[in-house]
Amino acid sequence: MKDILEIQGVISVNKAPLLSLSIILVLLLPVFSTVFNTASAQQQQTEKKGPYVDQVTFIHRDDENLALEEVKSGNLDAYYFHIPLEAAADAKSDPRVTVYDRTAGSAGLLMNPAPARDGNSLNPFSIKEVRFAMNYLIDRQFVVNEIYKGYGSPLVDPFGIYSPEYLNVIDTVESFGFSYNPGLAEKMITDAMTAAGATKDAASGNKWMFKESPVTVKIMIRLDDASRKSIGELVASKLEESGFTVQKEYGDLTKANTIVYGSNPQDLKWNVYTEGLAGTSVFVKYNPIIPGQMYAPWVGNMPGSQNPSFWNYQNSTLDEITQKIFFANFTSAEDRSRLVNAAVKGGIQESVRIFLAQRTEPFVVSSSLKGVVNDFGAGITSKYSLVNARPSDGKGTLNIGVKQIHQGSWNGIGGLSDTYSRDIFNNVYDSATFRDPYTGEIIPMRTQWTDISTQGPTGKLQVAEDAQTWDPATQKWKDAGPDATATSKVTYKLLYSKWHNGIPMDKSDLLYSQYFTFEWGTNSGSDDQTVDPEYTSSAAPALPLLKGIKFTSDGTLESYVNFWHYDDKEIADFAPAWAAEPWEITAATERLVTDGKFAYSRSQASAKNVDWLDPIVPEHAQAIKEELQQMKSENYVPAALKGIVSVDDAKKRYDASIAWINTHGNAIISNGAFYLDSFNIAGGTITIRAFRDPSYPFEQGHWSAYENPKLATIERVDAARMIEIGKPAEMTVSVQVDGKPSNDALVEYFIFNKDGKVVARGEAKAAQDGSAAGTFRVDLTPENTSKLTPGPSQLKIFANSKYAFRPDISTNTILAVAAGAPGGSNSGGVSTTTPGSNGGQQQQQPQQPAQPSGCLIATAAFGSELTPQVQYLRNFREHYILSTASGAAFMNAFNTVYYSFSPQVADYERQQPWLQATVKTALYPLFGILMASEKAYSVAAGGDAGAVAAGAVASTLIGAVYLWPAALSARLQGRFGIAAKVSLAVMGAAAALIAIGVATTDNSPLLLLAGTSLFVLSAASASAIAVGKLARIGYTALIRQAGRH
Domains in the chain, ordered, with CATH?
4-78+360-704 (no CATH), 708-852 (2.60.40.1220), 853-1045 (no CATH)
Q: Which residues pair with 246 in a beta bridge?
A: 217
The C-alpha atoms of residue 544 and residue 538 are separated, in whole angstroms, by 13
Amino acid type, 40: S
Helices 1005-1044 & 885-910 angle (0-180, nearest 10)? 60
* pLDDT top residue among 175 and 889: 175
* pLDDT top residue among 885 and 538: 538
pLDDT digits (tens, 9 = 90+) for 952-988: 777 777 777 776 676 665 444 455 455 555 555 555 5
> pLDDT grade, residue 892 (50/70/90)?
low
The C-alpha atoms of residue 818 and residue 129 are separated, in whole angstroms, by 40
User: What local confidence, expressed as pLDDT, does residue 39 receive?
Assistant: 34
The C-alpha atoms of residue 780 and residue 889 are separated, in whole angstroms, by 24
pLDDT > 60? residue 687? yes
> pLDDT grade, residue 462 (50/70/90)?
very high
Whole-model pTM? 0.75
pLDDT digits (tens, 9 = 90+) for 150-178: 889 999 999 999 999 999 999 999 889 89
> pLDDT grade, residue 1011 (50/70/90)?
low
* pLDDT top residue among 855 and 718: 718
Amino acid type, 820: G
Please measure the distance between the N-terminal and C-terminal CA atoms of the chain and give it in whole angstroms. 96
The C-alpha atoms of residue 483 and residue 816 are separated, in whole angstroms, by 63
Sign, CA dihedral 645-648-653-654, equals positive
pLDDT digits (tens, 9 = 90+) for 316-326: 999 999 999 99
**Three-state secondary structure string covering 348-373:** HHHCCEEEEEEEEEEEEEECCEECCC
CB 470 within 8 A of CB 638: no
Helices 913-939 & 885-910 angle (0-180, nearest 10)? 170
Mean pLDDT of 637-665: 98
The percentage of residues in the chain with a pLDDT greater than 90, rounded to a whole number, is: 64
Beta-carbon contacts of residue 725 (< 8 Å; ≥ 6 apart): 785, 786, 788, 789, 790, 816, 817, 818, 819
User: What local confidence, expressed as pLDDT, does residue 907 receive?
Assistant: 67
Burial category of 557 from C-beta neighbours within 10 Å (exposed 0-12, middle 13-18, buried 19 and up): buried
User: What local confidence, expressed as pLDDT, does residue 821 receive?
Assistant: 55
Mean pLDDT of 894-906: 60
CB 735 within 8 A of CB 712: yes
The C-alpha atoms of residue 839 and residue 924 are separated, in whole angstroms, by 37
The C-alpha atoms of residue 916 and residue 11 are separated, in whole angstroms, by 43
DSSP letters spanning 271-290 = SEEEEEE---SS--SS-SSH
Rama region for 142: left / alpha / beta (φ>0; ψ in -120 to 50; rest)? alpha
> pLDDT grade, residue 90 (50/70/90)?
very high
Tally Cβ neighbours within 10 Å of residue 990: 12
Output the CA–CA distances (angstroms, integers) from residue 904 to 750, 787, 907, 910, in the order listed. Answer: 21, 27, 5, 10
The C-alpha atoms of residue 703 and residue 711 are separated, in whole angstroms, by 18
pLDDT > 50? residue 1030? yes
DSSP state of 379: B
Query: In 3-state terms, what secondary structure has residue 898?
Result: helix
Mean pLDDT of 945-951: 71
The C-alpha atoms of residue 386 and residue 566 are separated, in whole angstroms, by 34
The percentage of residues in the chain with a pLDDT greater than 70, rounded to a whole number, is: 80
Strand segments, DSSP code E, in 163-252 are 209-210, 213-214, 216-222, 245-251
User: What local confidence, expressed as pLDDT, does residue 966 receive?
Assistant: 65
The mean-pLDDT minimum among 212-216, 708-712, 773-777, 991-995 falls in 991-995
User: What local confidence, expressed as pLDDT, does residue 1025 receive?
Assistant: 75
pLDDT digits (tens, 9 = 90+) for 781-837: 999 999 988 877 888 999 999 999 999 999 888 888 887 655 555 554 444 444 455
CA dihedral 422, 428, 430, 431 (to 10 degrees): -30
> pLDDT grade, residue 644 (50/70/90)?
very high
> pLDDT grade, residue 891 (50/70/90)?
low
Output the CA–CA distances (angstroms, integers) from residue 634 to 67, 546, 585, 631, 638, in the order listed. Answer: 50, 33, 16, 5, 11
The C-alpha atoms of residue 52 and residue 200 are separated, in whole angstroms, by 66
User: What local confidence, expressed as pLDDT, does residue 957 receive?
Assistant: 79
Mean pLDDT of 204-225: 93
pLDDT digits (tens, 9 = 90+) for 2-30: 443 333 333 333 333 433 333 333 333 33
pLDDT > 90? residue 600? yes
pLDDT digits (tens, 9 = 90+) for 237-266: 999 999 999 999 999 988 998 999 989 999
Q: What is the mean pLDDT of the chain?
A: 85
Sign, CA dihedral 579-686-535-30, equals negative
CB 744 within 8 A of CB 802: yes
Query: In 3-state terms, what secondary structure has residue 4?
Result: helix
The C-alpha atoms of residue 819 and residue 808 are separated, in whole angstroms, by 32
* pLDDT top residue among 4 and 49: 49
pLDDT > 80? residue 855? no
pLDDT > 90? residue 422? yes
pLDDT digits (tens, 9 = 90+) for 274-312: 999 877 778 899 999 999 999 999 999 999 999 989 999
User: What local confidence, expressed as pLDDT, does residue 105 receive?
Assistant: 85
Closest CA to 732 of 684, 706, 690, 769: 769
* pLDDT top residue among 945 and 448: 448
Q: Which residues pair with 433 in a beta bridge?
A: 444
> pLDDT grade, residue 840 (50/70/90)?
very low
User: What local confidence, expressed as pLDDT, does residue 1008 receive?
Assistant: 52
Helices 182-195 & 128-137 angle (0-180, nearest 10)? 170
User: What local confidence, expressed as pLDDT, does residue 32 receive?
Assistant: 28
